[in-house]
Amino acid sequence: MKYNKKTKLFSRFVRILVKGNKYLIAILFCIMLTIAGLDLIEPQITRTIIDNAIGLKNTNLLIKSILLYTLVIIISAILNIVLTYLESIMKKRIAIKLKNRSLKHLSKLSGNYYSNIKTGNIISILNSDIFNIENFGIEILLSIVIDIITAVATLIILINLQPDLLIIVLVIQLIIIVIQTKFSKELSNKTKEIRQKDGDISNLIQEYVSNIMNIVISKSKQNFFKRYTKEQRILTNKCINLDLKIAKNTSEINVMSGLIIISIFGYGGLKIINNELSLGELISFQQYIGLLIMPCTRIVNSNTRIQQALVSAERIFELIDEPIEIQQNNVGKKIEKDDNCTIKFENVSFSYTKEYKNLDGINIVFKPYETTALVGSSGSGKSTIINLIFRMWDVDDGEIYINNVDIREYNLKNLRKNISIVTQDSLLFDDTIKNNILLNRKNIEEGKFINLCNKLRINEFVDDLEDGFDTIIGENGVKLSGGQKQRLSIARALLGNEKIIIFDEATSALDNISQKIVLKTIKEFTKEKTVIFIAHRISTIVDADKIYVLENGKVIEEGNHIELLKNNKVYRKMFVQEDTIK
C-alpha cells in the first residue's frame, strides 16, 4: 500500500473511532496519564526503601515508604478497572456503529452489486473484520501517546541515574526494535492473506448450509467437501505458519530482553563492588529500564496491531464506500395517496453486461384498473422489465415514466413503497403463517384478512395444522408446499396498499383449478391498481386487458387474447402448443 493511501486510511479510521466518543476519550487519556505517573513514582520509592530505610536502618521511614507504595499500587489497580470498563463501552459502540452503517449501506446498492455479491465475504466483513476493529480499540492509539511520554520521562531520569549502563541497554533495545519492525510488516501481509482465505471458506460454507437440502438431493456433497477440504488445508497451513513465525519472534525478543537483565546485573554489579553505585540505585535503575522498555515494545507491538486493524478497516471501508449506483433522490417527487399509476416504457434498452442487449427498444404501457400481461419464453426479458420498474437497475437508453414523470425523478423509497412484487419464490420468514402474511402491518382489518385467506383457500390447509395460523413455517417456509407458499405470498401482497402490484410467475406452482380461484381473487382485490402479470402458461393470462409477447428482449406482438389469436403468429402457436400438452 502506498504511504499516502495508508495515511489517508489511517486518519479516516481514527476519525471513525473518535467521532461521538470525544469526552470518553478525554477521560480515558487522563486516567492513563495518571496511571503512567504512578508507575514512574514506584522505582523512587524502591530506592528510598533500600538505600535510606533499610540501608540506614530507619524503621519509621520504612513504614511510611511501604504505606505509600501500597497506596500507589491500590490507586493504580482501581484506575485500571475504570479504564477497562470505559474502553469496553467505547469498543462496543464503535462496533455497533460500523455494523449498522454497513448493513444499511448494503440495502442501498444496485441489482448489479447484488448479482455479483459473495455473501460469505460480506458476512466475514460484518463479523471478523468489525470484531477486529472492536478488539483493537482506540485505547491503543491513546496508550501510544502515553507510552511516548512515559518513555521520554524515564529516559531523562535514567540519563541522570546511569548514562553508561543506559547506553548498553539502549543498543540491545535498538536491535529489538529493528527485529520487531521487520516482523510487523510480514505479519500484516500474512494476516491479509488469511482474512481473504477465511472469506473464501465462509462463502463455501454459506453456499453449503443455505442449500443443504438441494445438496443432499443432488448428491453433490462430495463436490463441496473436496473444495472445502482443499481450501481449509491451505488456510490451516497459513495459520500454523503464522503462529510459528510469531513464536519465533517472541523467542528472539525474550533472548534479547534476557541480555538486558544480564548486562544490568553484570555491569551494575561491578560498579557496586567498586563503590560507584548503591544497591538502591541499581534496583531502581532496573525498574526504570522496565518502564522504558515496556512502552517501547508496546509502541512497536501496537504497530502490528494497527496494521491488522487497518487491513480490517480497509475491507469495511470498501463495503461502505461501494458506490450507490441507483440514486435515492430523497427530495424527489412522491406518488400521492390518490394517484393511480400509469407506467410507460419508451424505447427502453438495457443490458446487464455490455455484450448483449437484454431489452431492446421496448415500448409498453401498464395502466391502472387494468391487468397487463407479459408472456414469452424463459430468458426473454420479462423479469428484467420488473427490475427496471423497481429500479434495481436503471435503463441504459430510453425512459420509463410513471404518470408522465421519469421514474428517476421519484423519491426511490417512495417509489418502492408503492410497488409490490410477488415472485415465484418470495421470501418467507421462519415465523407463523399469520405473521408471514401480515408482515407487521397493524392497519389490516381482521375481517379482510379472514375473507382473503378463505378466498385463496389458505384456510383449507391451515385448518389441518395443529396450531392453525400460528404454525411456524420454518426457514424460507420449508414446511409448506410450493403452492402453499405462493398462496401466502399472494395474500401478503393483496393485503398491501401498493398502487402497482406485480406477479412474476407467482402462480406457477398452483394446479389449474387452484390457479383459477386465485386469479379470480387477485382480480377482486386489485381493482384500482396497476396490475402486471407475468406467466409462462397462457391459460393464466387469457383474461388480461392487454398482453405483450416478448422474445429476445423485444416486444413482438401485443393485444388482448382474442386479437392475438386472430393474429395467428407466435402467441397462437404458444397457446395451441400448451393446449395439446394439456
Q: By the 8 A CB rule, do 405 and 335 touch?
A: no
Q: How far is the CB of 374 from Mg ion (least distance, A)?
A: 9
Q: Which H or E run contains 557?
A: strand 554-559
Q: How far is the CB of 357 from ligand ADP (least distance, A)?
A: 10
The sign of the torsion formed by the CA atoms of 394, 399, 403, 408 equals positive
Q: How far is the CB of 498 from ligand ADP (least distance, A)?
A: 21
Q: By the 8 A CB rule, do 102 and 316 touch?
A: yes
Q: Do you know the residue count of the chain?
A: 582
Nearer of residues 438 and 502 to ligand ADP, judged by Cβ: 502
> What does 208 bind: Mg ion, ligand ADP, none (CB cut-off 5 to 8 Å by kind)?
none
Three-state DSSP at 445 gives coil
Q: How far is the CB of 423 from Mg ion (least distance, A)?
A: 8
Distance, CA of 82 to chain centre: 31
Distance, CA of 66 to chain centre: 53
> What does 540 bind: ligand ADP, Mg ion, none (CB cut-off 5 to 8 Å by kind)?
none
Of 6-14, 146-154, 265-273, 376-384, the window that binds Mg ion (rule: CB under 5 A) is 376-384
> What does 295 bind: Mg ion, ligand ADP, none (CB cut-off 5 to 8 Å by kind)?
none
Q: How far is the CB of 375 from ligand ADP (least distance, A)?
A: 9
Strand order in the sheet with 500-504: 419-423, 500-504, 530-534, 371-376, 546-551, 554-559
Q: How far is the CB of 30 from ligand ADP (least distance, A)?
A: 55
Tell which positions 297-356 bind ligand ADP, by CB under 6 A. 352-353
| 130 exposure class (CB count in 10 Å sphere: 0-12, 13-18, 19+) | buried
Nearer of residues 46 and 358 to ligand ADP, judged by Cβ: 358
Q: How far is the CB of 476 from ligand ADP (least distance, A)?
A: 20
> What does 4 bind: Mg ion, ligand ADP, none (CB cut-off 5 to 8 Å by kind)?
none
How many degrees, rounded to 5, is the angle at CA 529 between CA 524 and CA 533? 80
**Which residues fall within 8 angstroms of residue 50, CB to CB, at 6 or more apart?**
278, 279, 280, 283, 284
Q: How far is the CB of 441 from ligand ADP (least distance, A)?
A: 28
507 lies in the site for ligand ADP, by CB under 6 A:
no
**Which residues fall within 8 angstroms of residue 26, CB to CB, at 6 or more apart?**
none
Nearer of residues 184 and 384 to ligand ADP, judged by Cβ: 384
Nearer of residues 383 and 436 to Mg ion, judged by Cβ: 383
Q: How far is the CB of 575 from ligand ADP (least distance, A)?
A: 18
What's the rounded Cα separation, in Å, for the pair 420 and 95? Answer: 34
What's the rounded Cα separation, in Å, for the pair 121 and 423? Answer: 27
Residue carrying the nine cell digits 478497572: 81
Three cell numbers at 2? 502506498
> What does 484 bind: Mg ion, ligand ADP, none (CB cut-off 5 to 8 Å by kind)?
none
Of 159-167, 288-296, 382-390, 435-443, the window that binds Mg ion (rule: CB under 5 A) is 382-390
> What does 358 bind: ligand ADP, Mg ion, none (CB cut-off 5 to 8 Å by kind)?
ligand ADP
Distance, CA of 20 to chain centre: 21
> What does 379 bind: ligand ADP, Mg ion, none (CB cut-off 5 to 8 Å by kind)?
ligand ADP
Question: Which residue from 398, 401, 388 is spatially nearest to 348, judged by alpha carbons?
Answer: 398
Tell which positions 358-397 bind ligand ADP, by CB under 6 A. 358, 376, 378-384
**Which residues fall within 8 angstroms of residue 399, CB to CB, at 6 or more apart?**
345, 346, 347, 348, 406
Three cell numbers at 490? 399472494
Q: By the 8 A CB rule, do 556 and 549 touch?
A: yes
383 lies in the site for Mg ion, by CB under 5 A:
yes
Q: How far is the CB of 532 from Mg ion (least distance, A)?
A: 12
Dihedral pair phi/psi, residue 336, rounded to 5°: -85, 165
Q: What is the bridge-based pairing of β-strands 500-504 and 530-534?
A: parallel
Residue carrying the nine cell digits 525478543: 253
Number of residues that bind ligand ADP (CB under 6 A): 12
Q: By the 8 A CB rule, do 187 and 304 touch?
A: yes
What's the rounded Cα separation, in Å, for the pair 557 and 337? Answer: 34
Q: How far is the CB of 358 from ligand ADP (least distance, A)?
A: 4
Nearer of residues 224 and 352 to ligand ADP, judged by Cβ: 352
> What does 43 bind: Mg ion, ligand ADP, none (CB cut-off 5 to 8 Å by kind)?
none
Of 56-64, 86-94, 175-183, 383-391, the window that binds Mg ion (rule: CB under 5 A) is 383-391
Nearer of residues 202 and 383 to Mg ion, judged by Cβ: 383
> What does 384 bind: ligand ADP, Mg ion, none (CB cut-off 5 to 8 Å by kind)?
ligand ADP
Q: How far is the CB of 386 from Mg ion (least distance, A)?
A: 8
Q: Which of 7, 88, 115, 251 binds ligand ADP (CB under 6 A)?
A: 115
Of 179-187, 190-198, 379-387, 540-548, the window that binds Mg ion (rule: CB under 5 A) is 379-387
Number of residues that bind Mg ion (CB under 5 A): 1
Nearer of residues 17 and 550 to Mg ion, judged by Cβ: 550
Nearer of residues 383 and 484 to ligand ADP, judged by Cβ: 383
Instruction: Name the residues that contact Mg ion, by CB under 5 A.
Output: 383
Instruction: Name the residues that contact ligand ADP, by CB under 6 A.
Output: 115, 352-353, 358, 376, 378-384
